[in-house]
Structure formats: structure tokens, C-alpha cells
Structure 1
């Protein structure tokens, strides 16, 4: 049986251009307002009591502000992009009331796009019949069409020329964001890449598929890097399918939230230490003997700008874990130098990734404004720095922390 439900648009990220404008017109009836009051529990007489409202300065009932903002949800969910939308955030400023029955126009203009996170920034407005702005704000929306179909079968390393040895790199947390970009960058530079993931198998296979379609070699490997036994099993699988990894990039990271120290529990610190210290120790202990036997290798650990200078507030658990990883990385660099295993670090500044996509756009603009190079870091900036430290051009560098901050951190 066919549904009479309105059909949403199916725009993809590449279908949407900066400057595009989407509009709809609407008026809200007394029945609409009563229905919203029943759902929201907001039965303020200004909205639902005609007799009371007639005695106010407005003369009749006023539409709930949040009911007005539902027009932005309609624009996002039905028009831009429609079916593939995931609403990430919306700020609102109410300039003047809208009366029940008053005709209004909702407008969404695309003002920015982020390839790194497949997100859109929309300038959102509601205008009255006389074209005055009554509601304004900014929305951030993710376009979910970027997840590709998984590869049809496991990717097997292609043969190499006689006398050549393919370099193999293992990248943890490589199914999304910065890790995925690092995997793609290393593949373009000739590495066979082991794409590690924890739970996002389809996304890891999408990264593999993209690398293979571009002529590279890659395969996806599941492991919770916080589990030493799982890491050992993954290492054996990588060696069997791709060869011995002589490059390891530790980019797996857990979720973080901004909370003051007084609200943090020790479990919050442990959660970050599990990823930033325990997981890195697991992967490095698993691969270091193989690198030593192969004559050397390169490990690159992803840190953060927070380890240099004054960190942002509200991130004490994250800052502590990253600082601990800085110490571990230096200790490894000193201890494993005789084995030909170099250990270096990359510390990015604020970067657009899935971990930061919920940030308000003004945060990115403010950070760019205070950066000497007048922009924030991209995942490509970080990946290129990682690739340099993994490669032969940095053969005499170990224990180094490279700040990819556009000049914010100068040492």
C-alpha cells in the first residue's frame, strides 16, 4: 500500500552549492498552536487563551517560538538535503512575535560546506509578510550520503615488482575523520594500508574501497585497540594479508565532552587513558618487535595542541591523557632508537572532524581569526605531516612533536 506521507528530497553533498537558498511559506492556525501546546506542555495563555491574549499588547494569540523554529526542521528534513539529513545544531534569536494566522516565510541559505565532515552551515531566517526578520539563526547539518557500500570482497595485496618490498602501514581508528584521511594519504604515497576499526565495519570498508578504486592497496581489520589480545590477533592478520607493518599511526580516540574538573570522575580520566595510553602501548608493543626484525620502522602518535601552552578549559580528562601520551612517546623514542624504530608525534590544532562537527560555527571562525595563517587545520594538513614523519625524509627525526596549528604554537 502506497503512503500519502510527503516525500523528502534526496540531495547529496555534491548536489548542494554554497549560496543556494531554500524557502517555504506557512501560517499557523489556532488548532496548530493547541496541538503543539498538548505535545510540549506549554499552555501559556499568551499562546492558547484568546481572551487573555486579546488584552495584551499583541491583541491576539502568539505562536510558540519553538513551533516557528520547526519550519527550519522542515527545510532541513524535507529540502536541504532532505532524506540524508542529520540535524547537528541550531541557534535561534527571536526578533518579534508572530501572531496566529499570520503568513510567514522560512528561508535557509547555504553559507559553508565542509568536505572533511560532510556538513553544511545554513543561515536560517523567518520573515513576516512585510519582509521583516522575526526569527534568525544558524544551523549545522550533516549529509549522510557519504557512507559508501562496503567492498564486495576482502582486498588482497597486488603483486610487486621483483626486488621491491611493499611498505605496510597500520592506522588505528581509520574508519572515519582524521584516521581515514591519514590512511588515504599513506595509500597515495605507496603504502599498503591496514585500516583498523572498532565497530564501524561499513565505514572502514568504504575507506578501503576508496583507496582501491584510486589504485592503492588496503584492507580493513577489526580490533578494539584497548584489548592487547585483540591487537595481537589483528597484527597477525595484517602480516598474513598485507605483510609486516613498518609504519604505525595511532589515531584511535574516544568521545569527549566539555565538563569542569569539579564534575569529572576518575572513570572519565580512565576512559581517555584507555585510548591514549593503554591502546597505544598495546599496538606499539605488538609491532615494535616486527619493526626491529625488519631493520627499523616509524611510529607516529596523534597528540593535540592541548599539550603545548595553556589548554582549553573543560577538557582536563582529555588533556591529561594526551599529556601522558606525550611522555610515553618520548620514552619509546629514547628506548627504541637503537632498534631503528623512530617514534614521533603530531599535535593538530582545532580541526573539522566528526568529533568537532557539533561545535558552533563561530568557534571555528574565532579560532581561525587568532591563527597566524588565518584558518584552522584540515585533516589533509594533519595527514601530510604524519606521512612526512612516517617516510624516509624524516629518517633522522625521533622524539619530535610537530604542531600543526597554523602558527598558534611556535617552539
Structure 2
């Protein structure tokens, strides 16, 4: 049995222009998948990912949407279905810290933006994809949460951590709801992964403090999250796994 064989499958990855999303796209392509790449603003990045997917032997399509905006998730999924005819795996990777600030200094609009980007988008994508997966007889959803969802975040990221904690809870609850229908829902929970996320939001001193708390003594690379994502997406490898949050953090948190 080929455990990582995604030939004839369509995988939709949100936030695929860089970081974990881009690395996952290449991983799925290497396993034979057709990959639908979502991006918000970084068109140059997603074009680079598309080229990398093609180089890896996969087929890619590119789709733009601001998933924090109402109805954009449904429109994105409908666009991918119109292009490819099916979606077998959804990877909800899109998200952002948006802004580091103490709770008392965070305006209402920033709070809502953080929640919309990280939590509402996942809810909206899942709400639209579930009828698609039901009609196809099953499928897999892999959400991307964060280590901060367990420890509460730090350095002005409390609301981000709250949104990610909610994604973890949503993952477990949706997994229970959909398990009888052959739809599996799991999540990967990265620790400190060196991506443009930290380039935007984390200073060198703060990053050094984070690194000091990691038993492996280093930050992770996006590609080090890919194996877990593919595992959770593969029925051959994880057909009896649902509702799980798998930590990928170099030993920083061992729940």
C-alpha cells in the first residue's frame, strides 16, 4: 500500500503563499496531488509556490480571497470546485497575529480582525466544505492551530492565542460531529516555526527567548510540519485518527 499517495485527489490549502502552507503544497505535490493554492495579498509568494508545486510533479491552481470577509470562504471553495470538480482535503492554514499589543491597548477592530482571520475563516471554510465531502463520501480536514492555544501566548499575543485555542476546540467538536460520516478532522499545532509570521511580528530578543525554551535548542522549519499534515490527510495512514491536535514544537510543550 502506498501510504502517501494523493494521486487523483484535490487538496485546497489556505495561506499557501509562504511558510507552512507553501511547504505543505510542495509535500502534497510530491505525493501526486492536485493542489489549489489560496492567498490573500502575497501574489508573488503564491506564484513561487505554484512553480514549486509544478517542479515537484504536481498540478497547481491559484485562488485569491480575504477569508476574514463574510462569504469569501464559500466563494473560494465554489471556485476550486468549478476548476477541479472535487476537493478531497482541506488544509486551513491561513492565519496571522495581525498585531502584537497588550489586551488593554487592542482596539475592538483589531480584536475582531484577529478572530476573523484565525477562527471565523476556519469555521466558514469548514461550513462550506462539509456538504462537499458528504456528497463525495468522506474526506479530511486539517486545521493549523498553535502552541499558543495551550499556553496562552505571550508578548502581546493573547488574542491570537485565544483564537488558536478556539480552533483546537472547534477541531475536536467538529470531529465528533462528522465522524459517523467518514469525514476526519484533525489539527497540527506548530511551535516556533521560522516563517514570515515571525519576521513580521517577533523581534530578535523575543525570538531568542522563545528558542531558549525549546529542548531541541532551535526553531523549526516549515518543512518539518509537512509530514504531520500529510499523515493527518492520508486515509491510508490515519483512517482511525480524528479529533487530534498534534504538537510539532521541538519539545517546547509536552502535554
- Quick check: 1:377 aligned with 2:201? no
Equivalent residue pairs, number: 248
| Equivalent residue, structure 1, for 2:187 | 345
Unaligned segments of structure 1, at least 5 residues: 1-163
1:26-105 alignment runs, 5 A limit:
none
Structure 1 match to 2:69: 227
Q: Within 5 Å, give how 1:189-228 maps onto structure 2.
A: 189-228=31-70
* CA distance in structure 2 between the partners assigned to 1:364 and 1:189 by the alignment: 33
Q: 2: CA distance between counterparts of 1:273 and 1:201?
A: 23
Rg: which structure is higher? 1
TM-score by length of 2: 0.89
Where does residue 247 of structure 1 map in the other structure?
Answer: 89
Instruction: Identify, as 1 or 2, the structure richer in helix.
Output: 2
What is the CA deviation profile of residues 188-247 of structure 1, one whole-angstrom value per residue up to 9, with x for unaligned ones?
122111001123333222211221133211110112223353332322221232231111
Q: Say whether the 8 Å CA contact 2:152–2:161 is kept in structure 1.
A: no
Indicate conservation of the 8 Å contact 2:150/2:165, yes or no.
no
- Offset, 1:328: 1.5
The alpha carbon displacement at 1:299 in A equals: 0.7
Q: What's the offset of the Cα at 1:377?
A: 1.5
Q: Quick one: higher RCO (CA 8 Å, sep 6+), 1 or 2?
A: 2
Unaligned runs of 5+ in 2: 1-5
Distance in 1 separating the partners of 2:218 and 2:103: 30
In structure 1, what is the equivalent of residue 8 of structure 2?
166
Q: Does 1:257 align with 2:99?
A: yes
User: How far does residue 352 in structure 1 lie from its aligned partner after superposition?
Assistant: 0.9
Q: Tell me the alpha carbon deviations over residues 95-146 of structure 1, each in whole angstroms, 9 at most, x when there is no partner.
A: xxxxxxxxxxxxxxxxxxxxxxxxxxxxxxxxxxxxxxxxxxxxxxxxxxxx
Work out the CA distance in 2 between the residues paired with 1:260 and 1:245.
40
Q: C-alpha offsets along residues 259-285 of structure 1, whole Å, 9 cap, x if unaligned?
A: 222212232221111012211111111
For 1:178 and 1:381, how far apart are their aligned partners in 2?
Answer: 9
Moved over 6 A (4+): none
Q: Is the 8 A contact 1:353 1:379 kept in 2?
A: yes
Distance 1:332 1:217 in 2: 30
Q: Distance in 2 between matches of 1:345 and 1:194?
A: 19
Report the TM-score, using the length of structure 1 for normalisation. 0.57
* Cα contact 1:172–1:195 (8 A) shared by 2: yes
SS of corresponding position for 2:197: coil
In structure 2, what is the Cα distance between the partners aligned to 1:343 and 1:299?
Answer: 5
**Which structure is higher in strand share?**
1
